[in-house]
A and B are shown apart, each in its own frame.
Chain A
Amino acid sequence: MFEKIVEVLSQYTEFPKENMTEETQLVDDLELNSFDVMTIISDVEDEYKISIPDEDIINFKTIGDIKNYLESHT
């Protein structure tokens, strides 16, 4: 699952894929803005065929947050 998320994220950031960890920060490390994050999550939703409410997305700060969310919701 982690690899799949990293694959999606690497489409949106210059941050090297191999350096991404669960602790990697979406805004600070990957330099994504809130609009980028929304766009990325819609890709993740398509990939996992789920729908994530906006209020949950606000809590995604790290790659690990997305992974944990998907693990408990898919």
Chain B
Amino acid sequence: MKPYPYYKLDSITDLKMLVAKRAEETPEKTAFIYTDDDGSVRTVTYKAFLADINAAGTYLAAAGIKDTNVALLGENSYEWVVAFFAVADGGNTAVPMDSRQPADNIRDLIGYGDCTAIIYSDKFRAFAESLTEIRTFPLSSFAEWISAGNEEIKKGNTEFTDYPVDPEKMAVLVFTSGTTGKPKGVMLSQKNLAEDVNYAVKNFVLEGTAMTLLPLHHMFGLGMGIFGVLNYEYPAYICRSIRSIAKDFQIGKPQTIFAVPMIVESFYKQFMMMAKRAGAPALPPEAVQQFFGGKLKNIICGGAPLDPMYVEAFRKWGITVLNGYGITECSPVVAVNRNEDYCDGSVGRVIPGCEVKIAEDGEILARGGNVMLGYYHNEEATKEAMAGGWFHTGDLGKISEDGYLFITGRIKNLIITHSGENVSPEEIEEKLLQDPAVSEAVVYGEDNVLAAAIYPEPSAHTELPYFQALADRLNAKEPAYRQIKKIVLKTEPFVRNSTGKIVRSLIGKA
């Protein structure tokens, strides 16, 4: 397919401008939809959103929250979003926490991130109250923040509303989990976030409600699901919990959803089961639409590789799955497929404004206004990641002749064979996974040869000789250094981290 012109959208320089612009241009349009604790549906206009940010920001400033790092801990909510802007637009750094990790990890990250305050939801009350060293602000007191902030504004306090945002200063500190090693604190400035929004939203035009099915501490969920959506005059529906999404679809009737592959796969599985129960080979598009609320056109998917099979299946149901590629360090979007310009199996073209080149060893390197300031308190890691002025993503890829980016693996997973050849295990795993009897597969190096750990599809009832024959068939097409010499069958699925990625460091040890 051919590239076609980008959509015209005004550029922003920071997040404060993003909200202010919308509140000025479309004050009465709905910015957010969400359901309250009692199940009632709430809507917030752009004007009211800006007023809430100003009140909450003024309240925090008056409470002495200035030029400091503030942890945000809680499930997705409108109040969380307001708190984020109230912190970041007042010259502080917002530190969004993954609330699903163990309490001890969160405690460590709060210390490592030099947080002097925490904003938390009721679910984390006991934990937050155990943090005696830092100040605590419960989101359950949100209504009081707003009235106290508005009182301050009435008295003439303009500390927050007139605060001149420095676009170059760290505004967000995000800890990335990764599958190995210690977490890294990615420092992003308002400029980084604004530029990524500027680059990414041009690719796509939103024509209805958008819903993100990701936690907001995740840069894809926050950056695209909230910041990106705020560029259009359509609402963002805030899903409080992944468990309520079936109901949320019926209330929000999204035109676009943001998701990760695991969710897309889960939907697909549910539709196949629904078809089976109805005795049909496939579910009709109307039934699929009904599930999503009736208006779904696009699923924007990122975070991990997605089998093109799902893209094709959803296309038959009239839903376009646009796969993209991003990394927290790039705020996060780097490339994305477009509605009229896509290539299945690729992650689309690199977004304008961000430059990408492929290093000699195959690593994807990125440069542009969306690339992070560095890693927090880790100059060594920053230097290594930014060597030569390019951010080293750690992902392996290639750009096709017609300009589409393909992700082929992770550089740290590369297996260096005895003969010095590099093998990307993901490429071989993908071939194994095409066999219906293979449920999960991980390729690793052992004793200078390639080994494959396979978790067989339980319903296939296959034994080791079956997989040896499969390896033989694949090996016949590969040079010696890429051949699988050993197969280990697993009796249970691989351990995955909180983002659903297999923890490779455990392979071969368990």
Contact = CB atoms under 8 A, between A and B. Distances in A.
A28 B265 contact: no
Interface in B443-464: 457-459
B458 A42 contact: no
Contacts of A11: 273, 277
A42 B243 contact: yes
Contacts of A15: 459
In the A-B complex, the 5 residue pairs with the smallest Cβ-Cβ separation, listed nearest first, are A42-B243, A35-B266, A38-B243, A38-B242, A36-B266
A12 B246 CA distance: 14
Interface residues on A, range: 10 to 19
A63 interface: no
Contacts of B439: 31
Contacts of B246: 39, 42
Interface of A: 11-15, 27-29, 31, 33-36, 38-39, 41-42, 45, 54
B498 to A, nearest CB: 9
11 contacts: A11-B277, A14-B276, A29-B458, A31-B439, A38-B242, A39-B242, A39-B246, A39-B266, A42-B243, A42-B246, A54-B241
Interface residues of B, number: 23
A35 B239 CA distance: 14
Nearest to B459: A14
B500 A31 contact: no
B493 interface: yes
A39 B242 CA distance: 8
A63 to B, nearest CB: 15
A13 B273 contact: yes
A14 B439 CA distance: 14
Given A14-B459, A28-B458, A29-B458, A35 B242 contact: yes
B269 interface: yes
A4 B161 CA distance: 56
Contact of B493 (A13, A27, A36, A42): A27
Contact of B262 (A14, A35, A45): A35
Contacts of A45: 243
Among B243, B266, B457, residue most surrounded by chain A Cβ atoms (within 10 Å): B243
B379 interface: no
B140 interface: no
Interface string B263-288: 10110011001001100000000000
B492 interface: yes
A42 B247 CA distance: 10
